[in-house]
Amino acid sequence: MTAKTYAILNYGCQMNESDAEHYAGQLQELGYKAAEDFHDADVVVVNTCCVRESAEKRILGKIGELKGVKANHPGQIVCVAGCMAQKDGGKLIKKHPQIDLLIGTAHVNGFKEILAEYLSEKGERVYNSLEVKESEFEGERIRQSGFSAWIPIMYGCNNFCTYCIVPYVRGRERSRSIENIVDEVRQAVAKGYKEFTLLGQNVNSYGKDFGVKDQFAKLLRRVNEIPGVERIRYMTSHPRDMHEDVIKAVAECEHICENFHIPFQSGSNKILKAMNRGYTREKYLELVAMIRRYVPEAAITTDIIVGFPGETEADFNDTLNLVKEVGFDAAFTFIYSKRSGTPAAAMEEQVPLEIKKARLNLLMEAQNISSLQRNEVLVGKTLEVLAEGPSNNNNKVWSGRTRTNKLVLWPVEGRDFELGDKVQVQIETAQTWLLKGKAVE
């Protein structure tokens, strides 16, 4: 008898990537095998994102395409999961009757039981209550990397930034226990994984729902002590909740990477207040100074939103000047776009698109200068790089990342490298977004 197959079409953030790995693991526990083509799969899971309108449009196009796919594959089960399933609920099924199951963000860990009940014709079609408390993680993840593992440590967000839909679709913050997280890391180490990224919408809030302070720093130190762990990363940090104890843990622990991703979003105190970010420009600069003091070699990266409602030329210049003052290693820059259901969408003084684009270009020019300067300092140095494989299908050149998350390319030159190898690379040239060098003994 031919085994049933599945396909997962994933969109969105790293948390969605982690969720997709757990969906795949549960499907394999039910006896399904990965299909080579989603057109032929018996179960298709569309794991959705609704952070931006452009993402929603792409996903709705794919869901629409599945109507024809399903017509050619009688019995195919279409599951729509993730943030769009949470936000739109049963309305999606009414508009797209080809959807069999709708799985909200709080039901990832229970997907296997939900699908089994549906197949037995006993289950519901819509599971999107945010009142459900996730069970601790159990079972398998079918990880996409052979050496690097996503480890979710918490779910949801309590911050309610006025531009962000996440708290409405991911719910309030819920933390996994330290022991459950440590067990998952240990199991991954036993399978050969070396690098671990701890995931949460705001990792600095980890453990607050337990009523205990400084839990995230304690978690970092616990994971650092696990034999076989070689690198630890985490995302994402909120400046309001990033404290000295976490920075000291990075400075003092051997395996925690010296890379701080701290979104500041705007350099204007007026706009930060309108965004409900909970800190000021001055507090952010104090945080940067603390990082530089404890971890001088650290790379600092950030997120920035341009054109938030009410942003004047002076507000934008505050942002531009902060970028120049800090000297970020990299920045992810975005034009503000409305998200229905968020307070910012209803704000007056929406900034015209042409002005937002012009400001974005100026910001990117300034950041490109900073990124290149930060990389040029590394020329001549020998850096530890974790090998990720051939670059752009070119077996003559490999790529990998430094502890500070810099992308590095180097020629193979007759040597054999394996995924996850630690390679010493002497940096010879610096570009805006990457470094190039040669492997040394």
What confidence tens digit (pLDDT) does each residue in 222-257 have? 999 999 999 999 999 999 999 999 999 999 999 999
Tell me, which fold does domain 382-440 have in CATH? OB fold (Dihydrolipoamide Acetyltransferase, E2P) (2.40.50)
Beta bridge partners of 299: 259
User: What does the pLDDT average to over 125-146?
Assistant: 76
> Mean pLDDT lowest for which of 65-69, 89-93, 368-372?
89-93
Q: Which H or E run includes 357?
A: helix 353-376
257 is in an annotated binding site: no
Phi, psi of 328 (to 5 degrees): -70, 150
- Lowest mean pLDDT across 48-62, 124-138, 203-217: 124-138
Does pLDDT of 79 surpass 80?
yes
49 labeled part of a ligand binding site? yes
Cis omega (within 30 of 0) for bond into 236: yes
> Pick from 376, 135, 405: which is nearest to 257 by CA?
405
- What per-residue confidence (pLDDT) applies to 135? 57
pLDDT of residue 1 exceeding 80: no
> What amino acid is encoded at 188 in this protein?
A
Q: How far apart are CA 420 and CA 109, in angstroms?
A: 29
Which range among 209-213, 218-222, 259-263 shows the weakest confidence by mean pLDDT? Answer: 209-213
Is there a binding annotation on residue 79?
A: no
Helix axes of 244-252 and 215-224: crossing angle, nearest 10 degrees? 10
- Fold exhibited by the domain 5-127: Rossmann fold (3.40.50)
Q: 13 labelled as ligand-binding?
A: yes
164 is in an annotated binding site: yes
Q: Which two tokens stand for residue 21?
A: 């790995």
Between residues 213 and 207, the one the model is more confident about: 207
pLDDT at position 127 is 80
pLDDT category, 45, cuts 50, 70, 90? Answer: very high
Q: Where in the chain is the domain with CATH 2.40.50.140?
A: 382-440
Which CATH architecture is the domain 148-376 placed in?
Alpha-Beta Horseshoe (3.80)
Q: Which residue has the higher pLDDT, 108 or 367?
A: 367
Read off the pLDDT band of 134 (50, 70, 90): low
Highest mean pLDDT among 26-40, 286-300, 327-341: 286-300
- Is 70 exceeded by the pLDDT of residue 348? yes
